Structure 1
Amino acid sequence: MAFRLKLVPDETKIDFFRYAPATFGFSVVMVLASIVLVVVMGLNFGIDFRGGTTIRTESVQPVDVGAYRAAIAPLDLGDVSITEVFDPTFGPEQNVAMIRIQAQEGTEAVTPEIINSVEAALQAVDPSVTFPSVESVGPKVSGELIWTAIIAVLSATAAILVYIWLRFEWQFAVGAVVALIHDVTVTVGIFSLLQIKFDLAIIAALLTILGYSINDTVVVFDRLRENLIKYKKMELRDVMNLSVNETLSRTVMTSGTTLIALIALLVLGGDVIRGFVFAMTWGIVVGTYSSVYVAKNVVLFLGVKRDWSKTDGDSPAGTQFGKSGG
């Protein structure tokens, strides 16, 4: 007999909407708190969005942030951020730091002469220091990237809205988009709270989260549509509970296996992709939550018309549920 792993029983009867006002209220609070955090604390924009130069240093000696800062201070470069990079995959003689220098006024990027001066100043403090990578982005380009990123996220959300509207009903489309807005806003909020670097990789993560979240939502919506036709007399709330329970095993297995891979990357993947992986990990958790406790709550609040009146001939007045009245 083959072994079959079961994380969820074949039949569950969890009342996901028992505390609907509390769960939806919690989501509203998280969204509002995220907006306040972004307004008050702002985002720790990476070099992609701020403009300037990022120098990555590596040394066999421990990183002395104070000494690095003192060495660079005489160069009068304005806003300079120095952070030590910690990673469990680094060896004992692999000490890494990131030095971010703002774009200088009147220039598109930090000049090679300034970069050479910074490197020379750091080598005077630590002769063993090397510079594996130097990245520069001009302020004009970074400003364009911000708007391009916003347009990309909004366009993806709008396309999903149209798809769900055509595939199901407008109530489903509204619920799905509200859940997506919830996911993106809360993810951006946690980046503001923790001041994790926010760059183009995080925008890619946000777009991936949109796709993953809507996939999970559509699976439950599709089962809900089938059950609405099958159980014509059952209350909408009960049909929604049944649908979520019937797809719960699939949701747990999909999210669980994805999280295993993401957690492995988060721990062992290195600092270069850590921001992206953190955004994905957080997004999977929030996206799974919102598929049930945000999207479905919105549909439950708006209701779904199931007793469609007939118009001329035999054509129903509705769409998918036109023949399910009863």
Structure 2
Amino acid sequence: MHFKYNFHFNFMKHSKKFMLFSIIVTLLGVVFLFTEGLNRGVDFKAGTTLDINVGASVDKAKAEELITAAGLSHGVITPGGERVSIRFDKVLSEAEVAKVKDGFIAAYGKDVSLEENTVDTSLAQELARKAIYAVLIASVFISVYVWIRFEWRFAVSSIVSLLHDAFFTISIFSIFHLEVNLTFVAAILTIVGYSINDTIVIFDRIRENMRFAKVKNYDDLSHLVDASVSQTLTRSINTVLTVFVGALLLFILGGESIRNFSLAMMIGLLCGAYSSIFIASPLWALMKKGSLNKPGKAAVAKP
């Protein structure tokens, strides 16, 4: 089903307010990143994660009791029905893993199964470094494509928008101390893809309208951007809603291992739609303003 939204808003008039909001959140994120850092999962720091299926309902208190009985500090325990995930900040030896498994078998029976995931220090550092490289390389190639396909102002605006979306999501995870792992990196890369998709749709409409409009001053340019965003608003909202509902269902019904991935996707999708309208488009208009010399009014087809 396709929904049509007859919604008109003076986007350019209020763009400075939204830019200020983004700057505040970004600065807040920088403060938290430097003071608190990210809550790195076992993928990005040395440690061991044990996923244990006990075949019966298990609560956090019982899991803590069994871990303590095995002579270990219980670390971070995440129960989920018949499964429990336990993350240790150190690499466990085979003997320590065996003690944990034996304790759960004694409490819940022989049907207990255990999956171990261990990352040493060097591998954790390499994964973190490659995750950063992946996001940066993706952003660079996307900006080069936009530069070739459109013009340099569009490329600069799109890369600022992409970095804004990625850092905004990272800031939220830092502020609320949510765990960051490899699925989070996958979410960031997916967010980058959806964000540039929204941005290019608006930029393509702006370029088409520029072909027929007589833009002579900044007011004309603002009117053109507002018209272009309004003309693509229905498509942008429908696209975001479709993917957002899928991510929301994954967050509610999915397992614990993909919950933060789903949450990052939801935040990033909303942020991507927001930045395409209130960051990328106004930023392009500000850069384009310098090339306008003549006064006058532009004729832009209304949606």
Structure 2 match to 1:56: 51
Q: Which amino acid aligns with 2:137?
A: S
Structure 2 match to 1:103: 90
Structure 2 match to 1:319: none
| Post-superposition CA distance 1:161-183 (Å, at most 9, x none) | 22222222222111111111110
Which residue among 135, 140, 154 is the counterpart of 1:158?
140
> What does 1:30-49 align with in structure 2 at a 5 Å threshold?
30-49=25-44
The whole-number CA distance in structure 2 between the counterparts of 1:99 and 1:163 is 43
Classify 1:81/1:236 alpha carbon distance in 2 versus 1 (closer, same or farther; 3 Å): same
The structure in which a higher percent of residues are helix is 2
Classify 1:64/1:5 alpha carbon distance in 2 versus 1 (closer, same or farther; 3 Å): closer
Structure 2 match to 1:138: 120
Please tell me whether residue 14 in structure 1 is matched to residue 14 in structure 2: no
The whole-number CA distance in structure 2 between the counterparts of 1:129 and 1:82 is 20
Structure 2 match to 1:229: 211
What is the CA distance between 1:47 and its match in structure 2?
A: 1.6
Classify 1:246/1:184 alpha carbon distance in 2 versus 1 (closer, same or farther; 3 Å): same
What is the CA distance between 1:76 and its match in structure 2?
A: 5.3
Which residue among 89, 110, 116 is the counterpart of 2:98?
116
> What does 1:59-208 align with in structure 2 at a 5 Å threshold?
59=54, 62-73=57-68, 77=72, 80-85=75-80, 94-104=81-91, 110-127=92-109, 130-208=112-190
Structure 2 match to 1:297: 282
What is the CA distance between 1:198 and its match in structure 2?
A: 1.2
How many residues are treated as equivalent by the alignment? 290
The whole-number CA distance in structure 1 between the counterparts of 2:247 and 2:158 is 24
8 Å CA contact 1:79, 1:102 repeated in 2: no
The whole-number CA distance in structure 1 between the counterparts of 2:24 and 2:234 is 29
| Post-superposition CA distance 1:214-259 (Å, at most 9, x none) | 0110111011011112102361111111110111111111112222
What is the CA distance between 1:304 and its match in structure 2?
A: 5.0
Aligned partner of residue 297 in structure 1, secondary structure: helix
Aligned partner of residue 226 in structure 1, secondary structure: helix
Aligned partner of residue 42 in structure 1, secondary structure: coil
What is the CA distance between 1:41 and its match in structure 2?
A: 2.5
The whole-number CA distance in structure 1 between the counterparts of 2:111 and 2:87 is 16
> What does 1:204-215 align with in structure 2 at a 5 Å threshold?
204-215=186-197
Please tell me whether residue 274 in structure 1 is matched to residue 259 in structure 2: yes
| Post-superposition CA distance 1:258-286 (Å, at most 9, x none) | 22222222222222322212211111111
Q: Give the TM-score taking structure 2 as reference length.
A: 0.86
What is the CA distance between 1:60 and its match in structure 2?
A: 5.4
Which residue among 3, 14, 25 is the counterpart of 2:20?
25
Classify 1:78/1:260 alpha carbon distance in 2 versus 1 (closer, same or farther; 3 Å): closer
Aligned partner of residue 11 in structure 2, secondary structure: coil
Which residue among 227, 236, 255 is the counterpart of 2:240?
255
Q: Which amino acid aligns with 2:208?
A: E
Q: Give the TM-score taking structure 1 as reference length.
A: 0.81
Report the identity percentage. Answer: 33
Structure 2 match to 1:220: 202
8 Å CA contact 1:80, 1:102 repeated in 2: yes
Classify 1:292/1:118 alpha carbon distance in 2 versus 1 (closer, same or farther; 3 Å): same
Q: Which amino acid aligns with 2:49?
A: T
Q: Which amino acid aligns with 2:28?
A: A
Q: Which amino acid aligns with 1:55?
A: L
Bigger shift: residues 140-149 or 188-197: 188-197
Structure with higher Rg: it is 1
Gaps of 5+ in 2: 294-303
The whole-number CA distance in structure 1 between the counterparts of 2:232 and 2:118 is 47
Gaps of 5+ in 1: 86-93, 105-109, 309-326
Q: Which amino acid aligns with 1:15?
A: N
| Post-superposition CA distance 1:71-112 (Å, at most 9, x none) | 434655568222323xxxxxxxx33321112334xxxxx322
Q: Which amino acid aligns with 2:22?
A: S
